[in-house]
Amino acid sequence: MIRVIQPARTVGAVRARRRRLTVAKVLGMAGRVLVLITLVVFAAAYLFPLLWMISTSLKDMGEVFAIPPVWIPAKLHFENYPLALTTYFPFFLYLRNTLIIAVPAVAGTVVSSTLVAYGFSRVRWRGRDTVFMILLGTLMIPNWTTLIPVYVLFARMHWTGTFLPLIVPAFFGSAFYIFLLRQFFMRQPQELVDAARMDGATHPNILWSIIVPLSKPALAVVLLFSFMDNWTDFFGPLIYLNNANLYTLAIGLYNFQSNHRTDWTTLMAASITVASPMMILFFLAQRTFIEGITFTGLRG
Amino acid sequence: MAGLIFIAPWILGFLWFTLYPVVMAVYYSFTSFNTVATPQWVGLGNFDTLRTDELFWTALKNTATYIAFSVPLDLLAALFFAVLLNVKIPGRAILRTCYYIPTVVPVVASSILWIMLFNTHGGLINETLGLFGIHEIPWLSSPDWAMPAIVLISLWGIGSEIIIFLAGLQDVPVTLYEAARLDGAGSLQLVRYVTVPMISPVILFNFILGMVGASQVFTVPFIVTGGGPLNATLMYSLYLFRNAFVYFKMGLASAMGWVLFVFIFGLTLISLRVSRRYVHYE
């Protein structure tokens, strides 16, 4: 509720207010400096854990919990990386597995969600809005509620212990990305579609040569976020992959941690290796990230 | 017809991964079985078991505690940083990145990192607190401190909330601020009487999203504390997971899934109702 600000009643009050306004301006400058200082202090709190991660990955074991804390190791132990990635944490095997899942799953998500979003936005049919409400309704069902039947089904199909439960569902569209793409497709000009239809274009033509080129920013968001979903997914691999040869990076890292709880230097080297592609992606595609979050409020 | 062809993938997926599981989850919650065996009908047995299961109530209470602390804390912090990051100051873009970057770190990696940071002796957090004369806190090994530790970790991942707030803040018309300024409002009054009411729908959105997320929190407590010590951080999802994939009580776990659904649905409805008095829509 907005409180209506009372209009000034007397000339004296107006004058007092004018004076205060100039004070506010001065405070504005000082305020800005204060804002900057506050933000820098807290930004340090947000960055230090990451810097500490990097620092630890280059330390000697003795320096990890040294008092006072060692920020710059006496000697930079770059060998922690090859040591971690070849012995405790078979990086290339896990990377291969992650990509075997992520590449088809991302492709499946993008293609199927695009088709479905088109059907919900650019084709008119009876009952469309009702069906779309059902799709939105499915977003309200927590994964925990449907988890057991889905797991039991995959177990009975003998899909547990394979990549299939992590790949196949992606080909049936993701309600969230369908919603995102539909909103975007709806905004595209109808005249273009009408003109194309007059020229005899079919729906696949319109989708491919009008809607898709105009919706590149939204498609980029889906591509980026579904790739991140797959790269960082922990729960899916945790319940479906029971063989170390099938582990993804995320579950492999967890496995490394469970078996070598105190090998902090190599653990941090492995963690940075798993995290850095996501950070690099973020720096390369910062715009897409920000757009994606503001479109949808996705990552809560 | 054409429309149905386009949405066919989703319809199949809906039947396979939503409708069938929802129906089966209802059925399973009245049965007892261990994945492979045929479910045995037990009526309300699973719900009776839960009602008398102390750990079930512990898990529910822990999750409620986690929601009660992490959701408002994350929300206030995100709003605070967003308001400050919306002020025109040099280096704003870099500062925004600093607050967002932790959000892209895979949660497994950040969980492992936090175990190290929370180490009682020589951990970076206790060493930093030590500079202010605060004695070593046994974060992850004490039942009193483990929950605060998990809540603190959630505070590190508020980048998305900040960005959503920033988008909302940029939609507030500048003329409103100018009008309020002319009427003599100070900076804090601007925030209180212009910014907060204008972005109240965004606050509600972040609040509900945060609550739904916090009710299902899994990976961080699973890796950082495993639910301990002494079940102090045994979240609802952790206990559901344990029943399903450690004890293979699939019927009981299905019942827990439904209780969680009702819990989240109830919280959302209450928030929407209560919010009507506070949220200002244009």
Note whether residue B29 is domain-resident: no
The pTM (predicted TM-score) of the whole model is 0.90
pLDDT, tens digit (0-9, with 9 covering 90-100), for A111-127 = 999 999 999 998 889 89
> How many Å apart are CA B77 and CA B72, to the nearest integer?
8
The answer to whether the CB atoms of A145 and B258 lie below 8 A apart is yes
Long-range CB contacts for residues A239-242, cutoff 8 Å, separation at least 24: A239/A151, A239/A160, A239/B245, A240/A154, A240/A159, A240/A160, A240/A161, A240/A162, A240/A165, A240/A166, A241/A161, A241/A163, A241/A166, A242/A160, A242/A161
Domain annotation covers residue B281: no
- Quick one: angle between helices A286-296 and B159-170, nearest 10? 80
Sequence ranges of the domains in chain A = 11-57, 80-296
B194 closest CA partner among B181, B203, B205, B207: B181
Per-residue pLDDT at B186: 81
Burial pattern A209-239, b for ≥16 Cβ within 10 A else e, equals ebbeebbeebbbbbbbbbbbbbbbbbbbbbb
Q: Tell me, yes or no, whether B3 lies in a domain.
A: no
- Tokens standing for B239? 């206990």
B98/A43 Cβ within 8 A: yes
* pLDDT score, position A252: 96
B227: left (phi over 0), alpha (psi -120 to 50) or beta: left
From the list A144, A234, A275, the residue facing B105 with the nearest CB is: A275
Which residue of B lies nearest to A22 if distances are taken between CA atoms? Answer: B184
Name the amino acid, one letter, at B144: D
Tell whether B192 is covered by a domain: yes
Contacts of B94 (CB under 8 A, 6+ apart): none
Comparing CB atoms, the residue among B122, B250, B278 nearest residue A65 is B122
Nearest to A215 by CA among A107, A109, A110: A110
Q: Give the pLDDT score at A298.
A: 46
Taking the C-alpha atoms of residue B62 and residue B55, their distance in angstroms, rounded to an integer, is 10
Q: How far apart are CA A208 and CA A160, in angstroms?
A: 36
Which residues, given as ranges, of chain A have pLDDT below 70?
A: 1-27, 296-300
Residues in a beta bridge with B31: B41
Q: Are A271 and A197 in contact (CB under 8 A)?
A: no
With vertex at residue A145, the alpha carbon angle to CA A178 and CA B225, rounded to the nearest 5 degrees, is 105
The token duo for A146 is 């449907």
Residues near B218 by Cβ (< 8 Å), separated by ≥ 6? A235, B235, B237, B238, B241
What's the pLDDT at B190? 85
Helix (H) or strand (E) segment spanning residue B31? strand B31-32
- CA-to-CA distance for A264 and A267, rounded, in angstroms? 5
Query: Is residue B257, in this structure, part of any structural domain at all?
Result: yes
CATH value of A80-296 in 1.10.3720.10, 2.20.25.240, 1.10.1060.10, 3.30.379.10: 1.10.3720.10
Q: Is A285 exposed, middle or buried (0-12, 13-18, 19+ CB in 10 A)?
A: middle
pLDDT along chain B (282 residues), means of 10: 89 95 95 89 94 96 97 96 90 92 95 96 93 94 96 94 90 86 84 88 92 96 94 97 95 96 94 87 70
Strand partners, B41: B31
**Type of residue found at A150:** V
B-chain residue closest to A125, CA distance: B3
- B86-132, pLDDT tens digit by residue? 888 888 889 999 999 999 999 999 999 999 999 999 999 999 999 99
Q: Does B131 touch chain A (CB under 8 A)?
A: no
Q: How far apart are CA A131 and CA B22, in angstroms?
A: 17
Which of A146, A177, A280 to substitute to test the interface with B, most B CBs within 10 Å? A146
Interatomic CA distance for residues A85 and A48, integer angstroms? 24
- DSSP secondary structure string for all residues of A201-269: --HHHHIIIIIHHHTHHHHHHHHHHHHHHHHH--HHHHHH--SGGG--HHHHHHHHHHH-TT-HHHHHH
| B218 vs A contacts (CB less than 8 Å) | 235
pLDDT of residue A296: 65
CB contact under 8 A, A231 and B88: no
ipTM above 0.95, yes or no: no
Whether B99 sits inside 8 A of A46 (CB atoms) is yes
Please tell me the distance from the alpha carbon of residue B221 to that of residue B154, in angstroms, as a whole number: 11
As given in the structure block, the two tokens for residue B249 are: 């009580």
Residues 6+ apart with CB under 8 A from B271: B204, B207, B208, B211
What's the domain range around B138?
Answer: 53-275
Q: Would you tell me the crossing angle of helices A264-284 and A216-232 to the nearest 10 degrees?
A: 170
Instruction: Suggest the residue from B108, B247, B280 to mutate for an interface test with chain A (most A CBs closer than 10 A).
Output: B108
Nearest to A299 by CA among B71, B138, B158, B186: B158
**Whole-angstrom distance, CA of residue A271 vs CA of residue A256:** 10
B191 is a domain residue: yes
Phi, psi for B110 (deg, rounded to 5): -70, -35
3-state helix, strand, coil in chain A (%, to 5): 75, 0, 25
List of chain A residues whose C-beta atoms are within 8 Å of the C-beta of residue B84:
35, 38-39
* Residue B129 near residue A57 (C-beta atoms within 8 A): no
Question: Does B80 fall in a domain?
Answer: yes
Alpha-carbon span A261 to A237, nearest angstrom = 21
Per the structure, the count of domains in chain B is 1
